Structure 1
Amino acid sequence: MNHADPHASLAARITEAGGAVPLLRGSNLGPYVFPGIPAEYTNWRDEVRAWKDSVALLEQSYHMTELHLEGPGAIAFLKEFAVNKLDTFPVMRAKQLVLAAPDGNLIADAIIFHEEEHFYRIVGAPFASDWLLYNAENTQHEVKATKFDNWSAGVVPRDVYRIQLQGPNAMELMMRVTGGNVPEVRFFGIGEFQIAGKTVRGLRHGMAGTPGFELYGPWDEQTEVRAAIEEAGADLGLRKAGSLAYSTTAQESGWMPMPLPAIYSAPELQEYREWLNGYYLESIGSLGGSLVSEDVADYYVDPIEVGYGNLIDWDREFMGRDALLAKRDNQRRTKVTLEWNDEDVAGIIAASLFTGAREDAEKPARYLALPSPMYATFESDAVRSDGRTVGVSQWNSYSANGGHVISTAVVDLEFAKPGTDLTLLWGEPDTRRATVDDHAMREIRVRVAPSPYFDKVIKSGDNDQVVAAAR
């Protein structure tokens, strides 16, 4: 069996590779690339600063997968797999949808929009949609699932365009483009209004200190809407965020994007692994970083440690409930932000490029790119204290608002206090991936900071706020 064969199942790939970890750590797929938009519209530093200082337009039309669920059995179906509360879910509201594996670890999260009585739109990375699509094909509930792939799978017109407006000037911009008719909607409420004569719906993000909106409407009507927004925002400091700036949004907001989905080991998910093939990112994605383990479960996270504990509906059964309950009662880790030491980061960049800056003249440091040092689909770097691994760092980026490289991590509870000094091991020991240059391992000093990072660490007079998570 050839891994290049798109028809080869994930289960077959795991068997041929000798396990899930060898499969993932042998993949030459690089970091996720946001399709459909340029790396920069202007420059990524100012594009990042716009969601703190003025207003940013964040593009979501091309990189997010959508799954549409239709039918009176949709909620009953979702209750089998989602950990969160779904009994109270009126039309024109949205929720965070959290999906757990039988072992209680996280498969994926997404945002679910309830738009009509029996119509739900699930939006996010592909892992949630893939899992629910598979299960919808085998359910007894009255529900139909239709998947709309992102542009990584092919450049085709989509159901809707989707953009976000975030920043202190976002509400003024919304007032201008709607003629002052911005509906008053609560956190994660959905409003409907007119822009340039076109009907637009907007999800109200309550994660920001000032209101922000995720706007969407029919794909064929986006040109007039976009033009109206750009014209109205010209003197408000509107910046369109390119893919480089977009890749940095999650760390400031405290959201953990794309942790390794917990689908590779549970015996109960064998049929799902046989259903997945080379068309799906789960089958071809790469696992990189300095955390080394033969057990793929060591790369998983669970919903409680990443901050979803308050969303869980313990009063009903769902997949993974008992295992998740055990994790709640014996919580070991929690989510934090890690602030990387500036001198160590600069030293590694220098040692990756300049012979004179290397401690070992034979090997450079592992290259550290800015603003996103990610070099695998799923990244897991060992976080250590006195040489002992006490956590794992995942998505990382340089924050132009904070002035540091930061990452989202889970660490043991005893090391989670803000201000705690730890180290991060940078590099990929004994790499099997051609995309990773030959290098020497280096340590980076890191300091624990709160998660979300933005509202508690980055201060600017009376203009403190948290950026809404751009999925």
Structure 2
Amino acid sequence: MNFGAAQQRTSLETLIDNAGGAVPLLRGSSIGPYVFPGIPPEFTNWQEEVRAWHHGVALLELSYHMAELHLRGPDALELLKRVAINKFDPFRVLRGKQVVVTSPEGYVIGDAILFREEEEFFRVVGAPFAADWIEYQASISGLQVEATRHLSWSVVQAPRDVFRVQVQGPSALALMREVTQGSLPEISFFGIGEFQIAGVDVRALRHGMAGEPGFEIYGPWDKQQAVRDALEKAGENYAMRKVGALAYSTTGTQSGWMPMPLPAIYDGDGTKPYREWLDQYFLESVASLGGSFQSDRISDYYVDPVELGYGMLADPNRDFIGRDAVLDRVANPRRKKVSFVWNQDDVISALQSGLFEGPETRAKSIAIPNPMYSTFQYDAVMKGGDVAGISQWCCHTPNGPTFLSLGTVDIAHAAPGTELTLLWGDPGSKRRTVEAHNLREIRVTVAPAPYFDKVIKSGQQ
């Protein structure tokens, strides 16, 4: 991934050494939250765009913000079996998986959606962390597998082999039946179906995002306009809304999916060769860390697959990177993923303080709908004077309406209804993108994750 041949390559390991550690490196970065390129903040208004996938039908754009890694060759599946915790027997052609990869110590590096397109062709689609790790493992594996990267538009604005959109919401199935003129095949959960829209051959992964049923449609990049036009035309009968970047940024919190925990790669001998392979052009090297949770040990920011809800995916019958540590955490869980519902009065007080008080007393500003101000958001959640959990991905949703965040909490405090305190802010931050402010306590109540009920697996559509 060398975009500046004239500039000397600097490895992530060197960047960490020069900064005096991984925590100073990440807390010194001025990069802001993850962006969603290629689409406007709003197509209409973000409130109704958020409501659309909960109350009607929404069209979400996936063509631009995600990285894709293509794996081809007779050993592609063997590579995945070595690096991912998942069960792969069976894993048929035209099926999808949420693939999870971990460090040798069993902490999460990343997750992505894995598409098995052909016997020897797989797509890894999502945030770059899982794809980067898998690409590195392919390069050192000695296996017959070719890894080809397709970068997000945040890095390179170039056409891909496929476009990718998602139709979701209570009316998604009815819309899909209409736009396919009744030819939509029966597609099981995480199955991939083949059909036509406007005469164009497309495929669709059946899953959901933000708690509602959905179809992730993809097809030839140069034929996407006909498909888009047909979807928008049929969508008129269902009051379909196109979803902009503001509304899209809230999907993870509402669906109970943790989009971007800090990848567990910044310390330890097991990942040192990987840090030497990564350079300054990777997100891992330029990402920022913010929030009220403070520790000098980067490992305190790592999460394991069990606390994120991925324990049931782990295959106990196969070796993979981090296997023993992952299975130990399956047997001995420490924390649990939950939703935190923010107290309305405390949010209003913090908003008022951020807007109308001076830097000596004001609270950290709360942007709406997504208050995050760093790539990795880590806010301490307290019980008494002790850290009981971490709040990581926050938003306001008109589907409550409420302020929510997604995070992990000690099992002793994970019961719905438990009252805790979130510390909002990052006083003394060295990042110039963070204004002077004071720490603010916000009461939160533990709730299930996902916060909204899902129907995508049950077929209740």
Cα distance change of structure 1 residues 315 and 281 upon mapping to structure 2, 3 Å threshold: same
**What is the deviation of 1:117?**
1.0
User: 1:261 is matched by which residue type in structure 2?
Assistant: P
CA contact (8 A) 2:314 2:327 kept: no
Which whole-Å CA distance do the structure 2 matches of 1:407 and 1:426 have between them? 12
Structure 2 residue 378 is the aligned partner of structure 1 residue 375: no
Which whole-Å CA distance do the structure 2 matches of 1:298 and 1:145 have between them? 32
State the SS of the aligned residue for 1:29: coil
**What is the deviation of 1:361?**
7.6
Residue 290 of structure 1 is matched in structure 2 by 292
Residue 238 of structure 1 is matched in structure 2 by 240
Structure 2 residue 125 is the aligned partner of structure 1 residue 123: yes
State the SS of the aligned residue for 1:34: coil
Structure 2 residue 39 is the aligned partner of structure 1 residue 37: yes
Cα distance change of structure 1 residues 65 and 208 upon mapping to structure 2, 3 Å threshold: closer
Taking structure 2 as the reference length, the TM-score comes to 0.96
CA contact (8 A) 2:53 2:210 kept: no
CA contact (8 A) 2:168 2:215 kept: yes
CA contact (8 A) 2:211 2:255 kept: no
Residue 279 of structure 1 is matched in structure 2 by 281
Which whole-Å CA distance do the structure 2 matches of 1:419 and 1:202 have between them? 38
In angstroms, what is the RMSD of aligned CA positions? Answer: 1.7
User: 1:304 is matched by which residue type in structure 2?
Assistant: V
Which whole-Å CA distance do the structure 2 matches of 1:437 and 1:209 have between them? 34
Residue 15 of structure 2 is matched in structure 1 by 13
Which whole-Å CA distance do the structure 2 matches of 1:20 and 1:209 have between them? 35
Structure 2 residue 290 is the aligned partner of structure 1 residue 259: no
| Residue range with higher mean Cα deviation, 266-275 or 205-214 | 205-214
Which whole-Å CA distance do the structure 2 matches of 1:316 and 1:242 have between them? 42
Contiguous gaps of at least 5 residues in structure 2: 1-6
**What is the deviation of 1:252?**
1.4
User: 1:406 is matched by which residue type in structure 2?
Assistant: L
Residue 3 of structure 2 is matched in structure 1 by none
Q: How many residues align?
A: 453
**What is the deviation of 1:61?**
0.3
Match of 1:395 among 375, 388, 393: 393
Cα distance change of structure 1 residues 300 and 346 upon mapping to structure 2, 3 Å threshold: same
User: 2:352 is matched by which residue type in structure 1?
Assistant: A
CA contact (8 A) 1:35 1:63 kept: yes
Which whole-Å CA distance do the structure 1 matches of 2:154 and 2:108 have between them? 23
Which whole-Å CA distance do the structure 2 matches of 1:140 and 1:239 have between them? 47
**What is the deviation of 1:385?**
0.6
Match of 2:440 among 434, 439, 442: 442
Identity of aligned residues (%): 56
Residue 458 of structure 1 is matched in structure 2 by none
Taking structure 1 as the reference length, the TM-score comes to 0.94
**What is the deviation of 1:466?**
6.8
CA contact (8 A) 2:86 2:315 kept: yes
Over residues 160-179 of structure 1, what are the superposed CA-to-partner deviations in whole Å (9 max), with x where a residue is unaligned? Answer: 11011001111111111101
Cα distance change of structure 1 residues 6 and 308 upon mapping to structure 2, 3 Å threshold: farther
1:17-416 to structure 2, matched below 5 A, reads 17-205=19-207, 211-355=213-357, 362-416=360-414
CA contact (8 A) 2:210 2:252 kept: no
Residue 461 of structure 1 is matched in structure 2 by none
User: 2:22 is matched by which residue type in structure 1?
Assistant: A
User: 2:318 is matched by which residue type in structure 1?
Assistant: R
Which whole-Å CA distance do the structure 2 matches of 1:166 and 1:322 have between them? 38
Cα distance change of structure 1 residues 206 and 14 upon mapping to structure 2, 3 Å threshold: closer
Over residues 355-409 of structure 1, what are the superposed CA-to-partner deviations in whole Å (9 max), with x where a residue is unaligned? Answer: 3xxxx88231111100000000000000001121010010111111011110111
Cα distance change of structure 1 residues 79 and 196 upon mapping to structure 2, 3 Å threshold: same
**What is the deviation of 1:326?**
2.3
Which whole-Å CA distance do the structure 2 matches of 1:361 and 1:189 have between them? 53
